[in-house]
Amino acid sequence: PVYLDHNATTAPAPEAVEAMLQALRQDWANPSSMHAPGQAARQRLGAARAALARVIGCQPAELVFTSGATESNHAAVLGALSRGRALGRTRLLLSAVEHPGLLGLAERLRAQGTPVDLLPVDARGVVDVDAAARLIGPDVALLSVMAANNETGVCMPLQALSVLARAHGVPFHVDATQALGKCTLRFDASGADLWSVSAHKLHGPKGVGALVIRKGLDWPPLIGGRQERHRRGGTENAPGIAGFAAAATRVAATLEADLPRIQGLRDRLAQRLRQRVPALVVFGEGAPRLPNTLGLRFGTLDAERVLHALEREGIVASSGAACAAGGTEPSAVLLAMGCTPHEARAGIRFSLGRDTTDTDIARTLAAVERAIVPLLAELAAAA
Ligand code: PLP
């Protein structure tokens, strides 16, 4: 099929697979062992850490490897609450459009008594900095706002938020999972204190990611144990980390050439769809957006119907809505942007990647013509 779901995950790069196989076949010893095979594994780990730090824009010692961005996000929030206890900082401030894993954690913490404030977004999906300025205070343990939203691709005003956080002595966590490899944003230029990333969004393996912790920031261990300078225990996922580094290095090498090409394809898709479907609404228009992401709705045509119709035509995409017992749950991101539940249930996401071709876009447009335009006509006739 034509794969337009790169924000969900990406195909592992051959470089990543090769690096993983080498780590598995040759340097499989425990990197903590003192013998020569252990030291060889340790050296490979160090090389991967250095390579990733270059791509992310941090120091190697600031990188803590995790099992993925979900764990990194948890470590940021739970670490902030643990650190904040002694400082009288007990409240969480995060955007209303964070990843479901993070919002779910905040919800559970709230139910257990942690004060949580959600920052609203405007109609384009951009976090409201004025609201952040009103809500931040000396009792805040963490400000957490993603770099770019997974459903709309909308990029958040990190500079303004980091200035605000710094002025109030609040650690600033950025979930950069969707930004790494899809734009030129780097940790060192962002003003963030903490930074979550995940390998599988940029052609690396699943189940490995990192939390960048700014040098000098006192942070509790994520998981007990000696590894990762006592910050995240457990024998390192050396093959995963090697794959992550190889994938990131490959992405960084061609990013400048890939991004304009991907954006060109994304914009052509949007423009042609708009010509054909007057009821088309593109999410996040007018806001800075990732070049690969096209969040939209075909009028109020239900996302589930659209996705099934497209898949029958060989096109795979996704929606922010979650299928739940008794029907589709509307996307929380789109609701936060002011969509009605009916509109939010119609949200579709096309996310392109470096392997997306002109032909893929042409096939997608043809599929919409064959499968979606008739559905829209049906809907209009029924109304
Ligand atoms: N944060 C964002 C913004 C995401 O898009 C994702 C992807 O699913 C995650 C976090 C979770 O990443 P992982 O699958 O590595 O846990």
Band of residue 382 on the pLDDT scale cut at 50, 70, 90? confident
Please give the mean pLDDT across all residues of the chain: 96
Q: Quick one: pLDDT at residue 327?
A: 59
Task: Report residue 342 as tokens.
Answer: 């009916």
Question: How far does Cα 154 stand from its chain's mean position?
Answer: 11
Kindly give the distance from the C-alpha atom of residue 150 to the centroid of ligand 1, in angstroms, as a whole number.
Answer: 8
Q: Quick one: pLDDT at residue 301?
A: 95
Domains of the chain: 2-6+255-382 (3.90.1150.10), 14-250 (3.40.640.10)
Task: Report residue 351 as tokens.
Answer: 């996310």
Active-site entry in 58, 155, 183, 323: 323
The SS3 assignment for 288 reads coil
Q: Quick one: pLDDT at residue 218?
A: 93
Q: Quick one: pLDDT at residue 179?
A: 98
Q: Quick one: pLDDT at residue 383?
A: 81
How far apart (Å, rounded) are the C-alpha atoms in residues 139 and 112? 17
Question: How far does Cα 141 stand from its chain's mean position?
Answer: 22
DSSP state of 120: P
Kindly give the distance from the C-alpha atom of residue 315 to the centroid of ligand 1, in angstroms, as a whole number.
Answer: 23
Pocket test for ligand 1, best of 6, 145, 201, 293 (most atoms within 8 A of CB): 201
Helices (H) and strands (E) in the chain, counts: 13, 14
**pLDDT per residue over 20-49, tens digit each?**
999 999 999 999 999 999 999 999 999 999
User: pTM for this one?
Assistant: 0.97
Per-position DSSP letters for 273-316, written without gaps between them = HHHH-TTEEETTTTS-B-TTEEEEEETT--HHHHHHHHHHTTEE
How far apart (Å, rounded) are the C-alpha atoms in residues 150 and 177? 8
Kindly give the distance from the C-alpha atom of residue 284 to the centroid of ligand 1, in angstroms, as a whole number.
Answer: 20
Which residue stretches of 68-178 are H helix? 69-85, 100-111, 129-135, 158-167
Pocket test for ligand 1, best of 7, 67, 70 (most atoms within 8 A of CB): 70
Q: Is 323 a catalytic residue?
A: yes
Widest CA span in the chain:
75
Q: Quick one: pLDDT at residue 5?
A: 97
With a Cβ cut-off of 6 Å, ligand 1 is lined by 68-70, 99, 101, 146, 150, 175, 177-178, 198, 209
**pLDDT per residue over 303-341, tens digit each?**
999 999 999 999 999 997 665 555 568 999 999 999 999
**pLDDT per residue over 150-167, tens digit each?**
999 999 999 999 999 999
Kindly give the distance from the C-alpha atom of residue 317 to the centroid of ligand 1, in angstroms, as a whole number.
Answer: 17
Residue nearest to atom 8 of ligand 1 (CA): 8
Given phi > 0 = left and psi -120 to 50 = alpha, else beta, which region is 65?
beta
Q: Looking at the DSSP assignment, which residues form a beta bridge with residue 232? A: 223
